[in-house]
Structure 1
Amino acid sequence: MASYNTIENISGDGLRGLSDYCKFEYNLVKNFYVANANHDDIFQSWSGGVNGIPVGADTVTGIEIRGNTFISHTDANQPLVSQPQAIGCFDGTFKDWIIENNLIITEHWHGISLYGAINCKIVNNILAENSLNLDASMVPWIKITAHKNGTLSTGNIIRNNFCSSMTNDANIGTVDHNVISKNYTAYFVNYSGNDFHLKVGSALINAGSNVATPIIDLEQNSRLAPYDIGCYEFGAVSTDIQEISRPNTIHVFPNPVTEFSRVEIFSNLEEVIDVEVIDVIGKTIISRNEKLIQGVNSFNLDNSTLKPGMYFIKITGAQSKAMTRFVKN
């Protein structure tokens, strides 16, 4: 897992996902520089290339790319500006991927490109041209096409996205509730300032589908049905930490959780705390104790007994009291 990182001032690829079931969540990757003739990718993946397997002759399974902000460059005066491909995956097969709630700002065709995709989801992303380089001839697209060996892409979902262009093969799966436009100022708060929250009256509000799409947005706020198109939900309900008293803070990630999640707590002192997971009607589902040290503490939480829904995790100690909410899919 690569989560909550800032990667900037880059020559080459920003992130690579070459193993199965990797997660890339809530990262900021920005400011690419030209160093050689090789193309740069903000995120790149390919199959094979190891153990005698040719590149493009294997499968990369279960990659999740969620809640990231990818920006080619943020300074109009930056020298040696590169025009990186965003999510460029050309040597599949890519199977069971989830690409959701990402903000992608670049000046290249390959906004999200999967060559050889099976049962992948591309949902609730925003792809836009970088306002610092509108003279560029390329605009970022969403594209699913056949594997380079000719094998067709099938069973995919492309839904609730905003992009400047879309170019897919026929019969790749389901493509619906997407908006294709370059009129950014009509939809977003401040295009030139890279603020892609939805403006009041935006036609993207309530225009999305609630089916097979994320229940939270890029800021991990709960979406309100009917869902909006793009990575930000207008009027979303905050799921941020609700601290009862300082100095303690508590984080749960990923959120929504799967069978297991990671809980991180910062404490100013050593003590034993009670940890409770409580459902929305106030019933305690999980109860355990943890010993805190001064500083950052973390432990795994087994969520396998939880049914899908919203829960609260509460910590209580002599000096530590905090609570936050999370969602089990």
Structure 2
Amino acid sequence: MEYSNQSDIYEFFLIGLTYSPDVESYIFSLFLSMYFVTIIGNLLIILAVSFESHLHTPMYFFIANLSMTDICISTTIIPKMLVNIQTQDPSITYIGCLSQACFVLIFGGLESCLLAVMAYDRYLAIGHPLRYTVIMNPCLCVLLVLLSLLISTMNALLHSLMLLKLSFCTNWNILHFFCELVQVIKLACSDTFINTLLIYTVTSAFAGVPLAGIIFSYVQIVASILKISSVQGRNKAFSTCGSHLSVVLLFYGTAFGVYMSSAVSDSSVKNVVFSMMYIVVPQMLNPFIYSLRNREMKQAMRHLIFSVVLPSS
């Protein structure tokens, strides 16, 4: 079998969504609509948090950062996929593919860390309300976001540098709609033992630590809520966590499904569906789950929209 190192490769081919023209037209419209909703919804959250002074709290600061992360991860994947469908050309350059895989790891890891930080924030707000503003000060909030970005970037660079050392066969067809790390590694002809080991150790630990933090925070949250005597107080405390918990279950559940299914099955259809659920759908639903069910956020977004549509004279 013929080998090619990275200097000989010009492009890969993303064939995970290669169907008839009629179906591809439907897929193009679907993903374009989802991307539009993702960008507009998350951008409204960022603007609302930025311009409404009563939303300048740690919880909304983290929600705004999560929205920015959602915009970044969607922009890393969807525009290139839309261009490929529109031009009927599934190719992506070697550098473009590795860059996409790296940025997906960065923003995906950042989202995982932010979800853990938000769980910790809710734990402090419910379990230690009197000390909350002292502990969760602006400096700590910024430090937590920067630390999350640093950790996710180091993880992504580690995988990307190891990916650069691989040699590839003449088959450069990626059975996916973006350069997903596992699918790219499967095309390599050289030894991928270290890459695979990193996926199931470093990545597992990287995802497991934030997940463990989320579980610990919610155990403490439940314990604190059970100590609240009034039913109304319990319901209010639960309502502040329900949206976040639903996104955590959606993000981690589908991400776990992707890597488990890719390990035991070569079904590209299953991988595409699962990947959509954790790399596209949560980012689109974030504005609805986190904000539209929140009275303060709804009022802020309504005020923002009216101020743009009906500016004061």
What TM-score do you get using the length of structure 2 for normalisation? 0.27
Whose relative contact order is higher, 1 or 2, with alpha carbons under 8 Å and at least 6 apart?
2
- Greater share of helix residues, 1 or 2? 2
What TM-score do you get using the length of structure 1 for normalisation? 0.26
- Greater share of strand residues, 1 or 2? 1
